[in-house]
Amino acid sequence: MVIGAGQAGLSAAYHLARQGFAPGSGSVVLDGDAAPGGAWQHRWPSLTLATTHRVHELPGLPFAPASEELPAAEAVPAYFAEYERRFGLAVQRPVRVSAVRRGGDGRFLVESDRGVWRARGVVNATGTWTRPFVPHYPGRETFRGRQLHTVGYRGAAEFAGRSVVVVGGGASAVQLLGEIAPVARTTWVTRRPPVWRQGPFGEQQGREAVARVEAAVRAGRMPGSVVGVTGLVVTPWVRRALDDGVLTRLPVFDRLTPDGVAWDDGRFVPADVVLWATGFRAAVGHLAPLRLRTRDGVIPVEGTTAVDEPRLQLVGYGPSASTIGANRAGRSAAVALRRQLGAGLARTA
């Protein structure tokens, strides 16, 4: 059983088939969205393939979009739809899983809004998009302007002429500032000074970054953002924006007021909009009945295998939360489940 049909879930389904768990009879994919595309179908229209970091293709099918200028929210879902057709993955949707429990017979009970499935093994691939994270700051409820998280961003036009505070030190914050600054007054606040990555980010640095995230998740600690590990890329736009002062950052305010944001040292910035580009948490609430989470709210994993429940694989989680990481994780999860369950033993539906 695979829960979630984004990059990680589709990769897992592909590799499960190659490990002897045929789609439909040996494995089932459930997905909460109404259409193919995972979280990509919900991303803002101005996010084009050219402005993503790079969407890696899924195993076995080249990703050959007509243009890099296509919105990622169109091109990636079209590719995923073709992928599901090509490999006969028969994703069942929309099916939203509400709980995964241990059944009495050694199988998992997977409860959803479309009924209950029984599964000998589960690959969880539910991503993060459905769990936007907004930190608490005093006065948030008193702010009279608009607050939105990255998930609600549709484009800069609606902020024209307004005063916008962008909160967050990740790639999304930088990208949204790039779009909004030309039409609005922007203020950028981050908890820590941004680390700009000068020079190439090679394989060695990539391996080191993944190793650090892996070590955190294995130990049951919150891994932090990917950018916290890799640094922010200085693209030509970022270079110009740094020179123009658009990316001059302030430390995060101490509180929100009805009309803006304020610091204890007396500084105040009036704001019409606070845009929280403050990231996501893993959408794993439905796994709570398995009681695998540490105090930090993290499920410790070794590779993709839940340390305390080896028949549960987590992909697109922690170190594999990128399109390339999700691809690799899908394969590891399929191989690990075959080891756990043996070929042909997985009658999942």
Overall size of the chain counted in residues: 349
Find the shortest distance in angstroms from Cβ 326 to ligand FAD. Answer: 5
DSSP, residue by residue, 105-145: TSSEEEEETTEEEEES-EEE---STT-B-----TTGGG--S
In the bound state with ligand FAD, the residue whose beta carbon lies nearer, of 43 and 338, is 43
User: β-strand 305-306 against 309-314: which pairing, if any?
Assistant: antiparallel
In the bound state with ligand FAD, the residue whose beta carbon lies nearer, of 123 and 261, is 123
In the bound state with ligand FAD, the residue whose beta carbon lies nearer, of 55 and 333, is 55
Task: Catalog residues that contact ligand FAD under the rule CB under 6 A.
Answer: 3-9, 30-33, 38-39, 43, 52-56, 95-97, 125-127, 129-130, 172, 283, 286, 316, 321-324, 326
CA-derived radius of gyration, the chain: 21
In the bound state with ligand FAD, the residue whose beta carbon lies nearer, of 57 and 259, is 57
The whole-angstrom separation of Cα 34 and Cα 55 is 22
In the bound state with ligand FAD, the residue whose beta carbon lies nearer, of 186 and 323, is 323
The whole-angstrom separation of Cα 83 and Cα 275 is 35
In the bound state with ligand FAD, the residue whose beta carbon lies nearer, of 174 and 256, is 174
Place of tokens 């993944």: 210
Find the shortest distance in angstroms from Cβ 113 to ligand FAD. Answer: 9
In the bound state with ligand FAD, the residue whose beta carbon lies nearer, of 55 and 271, is 55
The whole-angstrom separation of Cα 188 and Cα 74 is 29
Find the shortest distance in angstroms from Cβ 147 to ligand FAD. Answer: 18
**Helical segments of 231-341, H only:** 236-244, 323-341
* Cβ contacts of 112 within 8 Å, gap of 6 or more: 30, 95, 96, 97, 98
The whole-angstrom separation of Cα 269 and Cα 66 is 44
Exposed / middle / buried, residue 300 (Cβ in 10 Å: 0-12, 13-18, 19+): buried
Q: Which of 21, 40, 26, 45 is nearest to 326 (CA)?
A: 40
